[in-house]
Amino acid sequence: MKPSYFDVHTHVNLKNFIGKEDEVIKEALNAGVWMVNVGTDIETSRKAVALSEGYGKGVYATVGFHPIYIGKEKFEYETFFDTASSPEVVAVGECGLDYFHIRDPHLIKEQKEVFVSQIEIANRLKKPLMLHIRSGPAGNAYADSLELIKLYARVPGNSHFFSGTIDEAKEFLSLGFSLSFTGVVTFASDYDELVRLPPLEMVMAETDAPYVSPLSVRGKENRPVYVREVADRIADIRFEPNEDVIGALFENGCRLFNVCTGHRS
Ligand SMILES: [Zn+2]
């Protein structure tokens, strides 16, 4: 089927999908949904790469070390660099700062170091960044991330599951970072203003499956195929024609990840 949707941040590579990866991926591809399986540590990054190799077009991978694994697993620069060099890998991340799950100042310092290392990997490989940022009791992770991005990043990227302020969103956009939204927008109106803010070419749809299922399957397992519901809702929230938004969201994914030169022409 002709691809029409792009789930720019999903996790068929996580253990929730063991044994049904093929079913979940084919279900999406058959519905015209492309996806990026996002790595969260070295093991899930390798799994994401392996999944891409098995399907080719429409199934891509990122390689990254999620900030919540700081203090639990070791980040090894060379291993991540080598894995991220694979042609299947379209971005580096998810990486960033999480001040909700991690509050110890020593670990936050380490989060920043590992984030900067991953920005450097992205710079070296000229691949975009897939950001995970969450503020919390330990402070404003968006402000700190912006500071590091301004200092170090020489590539664009996407800020996944964006939950910062309007001003922070504007800063990300001005630095060339798109914002992506999950199924939460289908049942909560908290993000409506943010969803309307970016120019259409800087918005993305994602499922973050198996987490945050959209309204129609709330409480059940989330899957990449449900990105269609997220994309439809983004169009409604923005008061823009569904067809225009769907087309733009797909092209936005292709452009950021550099994956579909001319396939639609
Ligand atoms: Zn994620």
pLDDT-derived band at 256 (thresholds 50, 70, 90) equals: very high
CA of 109 to the centre of ligand 1 (A): 22
CA of 133 to the centre of ligand 1 (A): 10
CA of 265 to the centre of ligand 1 (A): 31
Which tokens go with 223?
Answer: 């899957």
pLDDT-derived band at 245 (thresholds 50, 70, 90) equals: very high
Q: How far apart are CA 65 and CA 42, in angstroms?
A: 7
In the chain the first and final C-alpha atoms are separated, in Å, by 15
| Span 156-166, pLDDT tens digits | 999 999 999 99
> How large is the average pLDDT for residues 104-123?
97
| Amino acid found at 85 | S
CA distances in angstroms from 212 to 25, 58, 78, 95, 110, listed in the order given: 18, 22, 33, 19, 28
| DSSP 8-state code for residue 4 | -
CA of 224 to the centre of ligand 1 (A): 12
CATH of 5-257, one of 3.40.50.2000, 3.40.50.880, 3.90.1150.10, 3.20.20.140: 3.20.20.140
| Span 70-85, pLDDT tens digits | 999 999 999 999 999 9
> How large is the average pLDDT for residues 141-146?
98
pLDDT of 223 above 80: yes
Q: How far apart are CA 27 and CA 47, in angstroms?
A: 19
> How large is the average pLDDT for residues 95-109?
96
| Span 195-204, pLDDT tens digits | 999 999 999 9
CA of 104 to the centre of ligand 1 (A): 22
CA of 39 to the centre of ligand 1 (A): 8
Q: In what order do the strands lie in the sheet with 203-205?
A: 5-10, 33-37, 59-63, 89-98, 129-134, 157-160, 177-181, 203-205
The pLDDT assigned to 263 comes to: 46
DSSP string, 164-218: S-HHHHHHHHHTTEEEEE-GGGGT--TTHHHHHSS-GGGEEE---TTSS--GGGT
Q: If we measure between CA atoms, which residue out of 153, 205, 157, 159 comes closest to residue 183?
A: 205
CA of 115 to the centre of ligand 1 (A): 15
The pLDDT assigned to 264 comes to: 43
